Amino acid sequence: MRNHFKTPLSRHPLRLVLMALGSAVLMSCASTDVAPIEAQAKPDDTTDEGGIWYVTDKVEKDLQTSAIVERDPALNEYVSAVACRVTGPDYCKDLRVYIVKQPYFNASMAPNGMMQVWTGLLLRAENEDQLAYVLGHEFAHYRQRHSLKQWRQAKNISNASLVFSVGAAAAGAGAAGVLGQAAALARLYGFSREAERESDDLGFDFFVAAGYAPGEAARTWEYLIAEAAESSSRRKRKSVARASIFATHPVTTERVENLQAKAAALPAGTPNRADFIAATKPFLQQWLEQDLTLRDFGSSLFLTNRLIEGGDALGVLYFHRAEIYRLRRASGDSDLALADYQTASQYEDTPPENWRQMGDALAKAGKTDEAKAAWTTYLEKAPNAPDRLLIQSYLDPDGA
Amino acid sequence: MTGAISIFKQIRLLIFIAGLGAVITGCVSSSVNTTSNSHEAPKSGAQILLMQPDVELSLLTASGLREPRADWSKQAQGLIIAEIEKNLAGNGHELRQHSLDTDNAHEVQLIKLHEAVGNTILLHRFFNQPLPSKKDKFDWSLGPGVATLADNYDADYALFIFARGAYASAARQATALVLAVAGVGVGTGDQAAFASLVNLETGDIVWFNVTVTGSGIDMRRPSGAESVVKGLMKDNPLTTHATDKAKS
């Protein structure tokens, strides 16, 4: 790296080159001070924002035709209505909400108005108010044009770090060049937190203005922190998962306290649980099954126990908890699983599979007669079960 | 997940472009592949379905970030369509433009399938990661499921176009000048595109071509789009067929 420049200019070339480079780069320094986007506004095609929309429109087209999107009309109508209540009628037309079948707690906002709500979030929200707060937070990213700000910031930082790295390389300080990059990255990250803070505040205002219960905003984060602490994955317990909302929304005590303080100054309000449960209940079993595919038994158990405390859909929940124990196979789990299959069998909404699994568990415990009774109930409840012949062979091994 | 894969592929494409672009400023290079499956040359009067070209042009910022520009992309898309029409005119074939019906799930999947196969060909044919199973042959195919497109549009072939390009901002050009004085070379733009022709009876990709140009050619302008499309349509069986016929 030393003596990098051996041109005739090399007596004092570095300062000259850096000055010239600095002014060349400054020609393109973009303003990061952008005003909120107006309702029903579209950027001009000739701008950087127009380019960002052009690219995200294509991403949206791909998403629209993807199998990963939950298309159930009733659920989509419900979630979109909550979004509209938070954004108000004008901005409502600018947002398109997609429910994405992913078992992580996440939601995201694209600069063109494409909002994603992941099913892992719907599984973990306790009421409409908690959902509404997250949607308000995401809407604030859109309204404040955070993507555009972030892009311009990235552009300016990378321009500045170009000057810095050329200067550092020329001065023979390779390590300083690397450090320059690290510092630039840290600044990008810092900006992102700033945007999160702004979205926390604005999202809170939108959701309170829409009439939701202020205390529910912090509760979502409190729950997520508690669930992460119970995770079976040490990495998740320590740093909290990638591909979850934490990756882009680092939850800090400061953020939770900020929301708690804002809520404390306002009347409590009553969260709307009934509508939320009615809209999401038909999907509960499916979402729980998807959650279990992550094989994070600690976090799944924590979640299921909290849902059981909620007191809705208990047949589905006890069956699911039994399945967690069955798959975890820790010492004593067979007994726990059997107990939960038996509890589940007392409810109306229990899936038929509960009796098949209960039969298997009873047979393993040596209770043959009770096992046969459970299998018989299974076939009564699911006469077209794909494993009917197999179960019949258990009931009548001789095939009489 | 899929995003990460396509970013990876884009990076590969950029490396590819950067290497070639530096060498061949102002010229067009093509790399044609034709199917090794048995295939009849297109009959005269074949119906060609032109899928909407996927075009994304960007501004190259001072430090080399690529900032997408919607107006340039749309403009180049229009110019490319016009040039393709010109290029295929007089070959006895009929060209019709395809507009996507997003409710037609099967059609949507076919287009996504082509994108996946096209990117795979790019990666393994052009980015120095050859597949042992594809040695000495080019038998890529979307399968007979493409017959839906043939039926719906009464077409014999589908032509897919994918193009990317970047053009230096004033600041980038100034940066390049300043650093050139210091002996550092800085790229000031490049363009790359690929085209593939799919037989809608068999699904086979019968012809596949990649074109790379240096910064001297600008597909935002009619003359540039003409050069790019000329390079892109090199040795395509639709034009070749007409030439053969003229010879015989």
User: Residue A386 contacts by C-beta under 8 Å, 6 or more apart in sequence?
Assistant: none
For residues A165 and A174, what is the distance between their CA atoms, to the nearest angstrom? 8
Total residues found in chain A within this entry = 400
Q: Report the percent of chain B where pLDDT is more than 70.
A: 81
**pLDDT exceeds cutoff 60 at A230:** yes
- Whose tokens are 């937190």? That residue is A193
pLDDT attached to residue B186 = 65
More confident residue, A198 or B39: A198
- φ/ψ bin of A332: left (φ > 0), alpha (ψ from -120 to 50), beta (otherwise): left
Tens-place pLDDT, residues A332-343: 999 999 999 999
Give the pLDDT confidence score for residue B94 in this predicted structure: 85
Interface test with A, best of B175, B186, B188 (most A CBs within 10 A): B175
> Which residues of chain B neighbour A151 with C-beta distances below 8 Å?
67
Q: Which residues of B touch A159 (CB under 8 A)?
A: 61-63, 171
pLDDT on residue A27: 57
CB pair distance less than 8 Å for A7 and B183: yes
Residue A28: the pLDDT is 55
pLDDT grade, residue A177 (50/70/90)? very low
Q: What is the pLDDT of residues B223-234, one digit of tens each?
A: 999 999 999 988
Mean pLDDT of B110-136: 85
What does the pLDDT average to over B50-64?
86
CA angle A263, A264, A269 (to 5 degrees): 60
Mean pLDDT over B58-82 rounds to 88
A17, B67: Cβ pair inside 8 Å?
A: no
**How far away is chain A from the Cα of B164, in angstroms, using its nearest Cα?**
12
The confidence band for A23, taking pLDDT boundaries of 50, 70 and 90, is low
- Predicted confidence at residue B74, as pLDDT, reads 94
Q: Where is average pLDDT lowest: A173-177, A229-233, B15-19?
A: A173-177
pLDDT tier at B4 (50, 70, 90 boundaries)? very low
Q: Percentage of chain A with pLDDT > 90?
A: 60
Q: What is the pLDDT of residue B180?
A: 67
Nearest to A37 by CA among A24, A49, A55, A48: A49
Residue A351 distance to chain B (closest CA, Å): 31
Q: Which residue has the tokens 């095939």?
A: A399
> What DSSP character marks residue B201?
T
Measure the CA–CA gap between A25 and A159, rounded to whole angstroms.
6
CB B20 within 8 A of CB B128: no
Per-residue pLDDT band for B161 (boundaries 50, 70, 90) equals: very high
Residues on chain A touching B188 (C-beta within 8 angstroms): none
Residue A353 has what pLDDT?
Answer: 97
- Statement: residue A375 has pLDDT above 80: yes
Position A190 scores a pLDDT of 42
Task: Kindly report the average pLDDT of chain A as a whole number.
Answer: 84
Contact status, residue A321 vs residue A306, Cβ threshold 8 Å:
no
Cβ contact B68–A54 (<8 Å): yes
DSSP assignment of A92-105: HTT-EEEEE--SS-
State the best of A112, A155, A162 to mutate against chain B, taking most chain B CBs within 10 Å.
Answer: A162
Q: For residue B132, is pLDDT > 70?
A: yes
Tokens of B222: 């009619």
* Interchain pair B56, A55: CB under 8 A: yes
Contacts of A26 in chain B (CB under 8 A): 171
User: What residues of chain B lie within 8 A of the CB of A50, using their CB?
Assistant: 69-71
Retrieve residue A99's tokens: 């429910």
Mean pLDDT of A72-100: 97
As a whole number, the mean pLDDT across chain B is 80
Please write the tens of the pLDDT for every residue from A150-171.
888 877 777 766 665 555 444 4
Instruction: Give the mean model confidence (pLDDT) for residues A293-320.
Output: 96
pLDDT of A29 > 60? The answer is yes
With contacts defined as CB-CB under 8 Å, which chain B residues touch A46? 69-71
Least confident of A160-164, A304-308, A324-328: A160-164
What pLDDT is stored for residue A286 in this prediction?
Answer: 97
Asked if B146 and B181 count as a contact pair (C-beta separation under 8 A), the reply is no
Distance from CA of A344 to the nearest CA of B (A): 37
Task: Return the pLDDT at A194.
Answer: 81
Question: Tokens standing for B73?
Answer: 């992309």
Q: What percent of chain A has pLDDT over 70?
A: 80
B58 to A25: CB separation less than 8 angstroms, yes or no: no
ipTM: 0.75
Q: Is B180 on the interface with A (CB under 8 A)?
A: no
In angstroms, rounded to a whole number, what is the distance separating the alpha carbons of residues A248 and A185?
14
Q: What are the extents of the domains in chain A?
A: 1-272, 283-395
Note the pLDDT of residue B101: 77
Contact B179 A21 (CB under 8 A): yes
Of all residues in chain B, the one with the smallest CA distance to A20 is B178
Chain B residues within an 8 Å CB radius of A23: 174
Judged against a pLDDT cut of 80, whether residue B172 lies above it is answered with no
Q: How far away is chain A from the Cα of B62, in angstroms, using its nearest Cα?
A: 6
> Quick check: B38 contacting A, CB < 8 Å?
no
Contact A51 B68 (CB under 8 A): yes
Q: What is the CA radius of gyration of chain B?
A: 19
- Strands B47-50 and B94-97 turn out to be parallel
- Which residue has 């990250």 as its token pair? A189
Give residue A173's pLDDT band: very low, low, confident or very high (50, 70, 90).
very low
More confident residue, A196 or A344: A344
What's the rounded mean pLDDT across residues B136-160?
A: 91
B150 close to B46: Cβ distance less than 8 angstroms: no
Q: How close does chain A come to B53, measured CA to CA in Å?
A: 12
Q: Report the residue of chain B nearest A58, measured CA to CA.
A: B54
- At the topology level, CATH places domain A283-395 in 1.25.40
